[in-house]
Amino acid sequence: MNLHFVQLLDSADRSIVEALAADARLSLKELAARAGLSSPSCSERLRRLEERGVLAGYSAEVALEALGYPLQAIVRVRPLPGMLHIVEKLIQETPEITECDKVTGDDCFICRMAVRGMGDLDRILDKISEKSQTNTSLVKSTPVKRRLPPFVG
Amino acid sequence: MNLHFVQLLDSADRSIVEALAADARLSLKELAARAGLSSPSCSERLRRLEERGVLAGYSAEVALEALGYPLQAIVRVRPLPGMLHIVEKLIQETPEITECDKVTGDDCFICRMAVRGMGDLDRILDKISEKSQTNTSLVKSTPVKRRLPPFVG
DNA sequence: GTTGAAAGACTTTAATT
DNA sequence: AATTAAAGTCTTTCAAC
């Protein structure tokens, strides 16, 4: 996997990436049509985009309510002195945490969490708060759903 | 689309959802094998999961570096009095903002942003800061990559 | 709601430019 | 690297349980 991405994408590659970002289950035939290619050449480009790591995977967007998780929260976590690694491990082992970034600034981690209710939230935050300062925001709505930034030449 | 999700998922549905969350491009045949079903019945279940909104879409995970965006930031945004709607609109119209949640607490919005470099970041934050207080954290690493919370009965 | 078989659609391979 | 054609595979339909 080329991690430097020395060359950006040509127009056909961009079509493929954009189309799969919007619908990862599109058929090769449909992808090829959108990129203006035949199916075999589209298949080969797709293979190389995956090999280069440009396309890192494909995932279903799941309605968390349907899994029994009606609430989401964003939690900023600032480990107490000496607790950084322990807190990082705790975060990774908390399955309700669905995403976590390590960031610059006063907060060390910013996590997204899905919970079944306030009981869940309380229990998980109590646990994390034993070893860090936390600041929690409940998600009320999502004005921008996951999307790609503009393609640049 | 049933927004109440009155019934949770049975074991075959869970297998389908879990498998597609991990690899949205799996074939029906492979999905059916994992769920212990025939292809036609798996196809019908998939159709209904989509119809109910349990599966809300499928997307490719794209390496943003490959698109020319080597940096990501998380920005907390607190609109100045009276600026809430203007700021929300500005966020939605800033294409480098790849995700944004509206949340409870002192911050009104928490955004994820992809940028080509510090110049980009500076320009975008200056614009948003005309109408809000912002607090920005640069992403250094991602200890937890997007995953589903545990399935519950 | 599920199965099995057949028709149809898609993907891959291989030869060619 | 891309295309065409053919072989192989997968998906969908439909009759039956």
CATH 3.30.70.920 residue ranges in chain A? 64-138
Q: What is the CATH number of domain A64-138?
A: 3.30.70.920
Chain A residues 43-102 within an 8 A CB cutoff of chain B: 52-69, 72, 74, 88, 91-92, 95-102
Chain B residues 12-31 within an 8 A CB cutoff of chain A: 17, 20-25
Confidence of residue A145 (pLDDT cuts 50, 70, 90): very high
Within chain A, residue ranges assigned H as helices are 11-22, 28-35, 39-52, 84-93, 118-129
Within B36-109, residue ranges assigned H as helices are 39-52, 84-93
Q: Residue A7 above 90 pLDDT?
A: no
Whole-prediction pTM value? 0.95
CATH 1.10.10.10 residue ranges in chain A? 3-51
Q: What is the CATH number of domain A3-51?
A: 1.10.10.10
Reported as type and span, the H/E element at residue B138 is: strand B132-144
Nearest residue on chain B to A1, judged by CA atoms?
B63
Among left, alpha and beta (phi > 0; psi -120 to 50; other), residue A57 is left
Query: Is the distance between the Cβ of A29 and the closest atom of strand C smaller than 7 Å?
Result: yes
CB contact at 8 A, A63 and B5: yes
In Å, how far is A38's CA from the nearest CA of chain B? 20
CA neighbor of A57 nearest in space, from B106, B88, B146: B146
Task: Decide if B74 and A152 are in contact by the 8 Å CB cutoff.
Answer: no
Q: Residue A123 above 70 pLDDT?
A: yes
Q: State pLDDT tens for residues A23-36.
A: 999 999 999 999 99
Q: State pLDDT tens for residues A31-70.
A: 999 999 999 999 999 999 999 999 999 999 999 999 999 9
Nearest residue on chain B to A93, judged by CA atoms?
B144
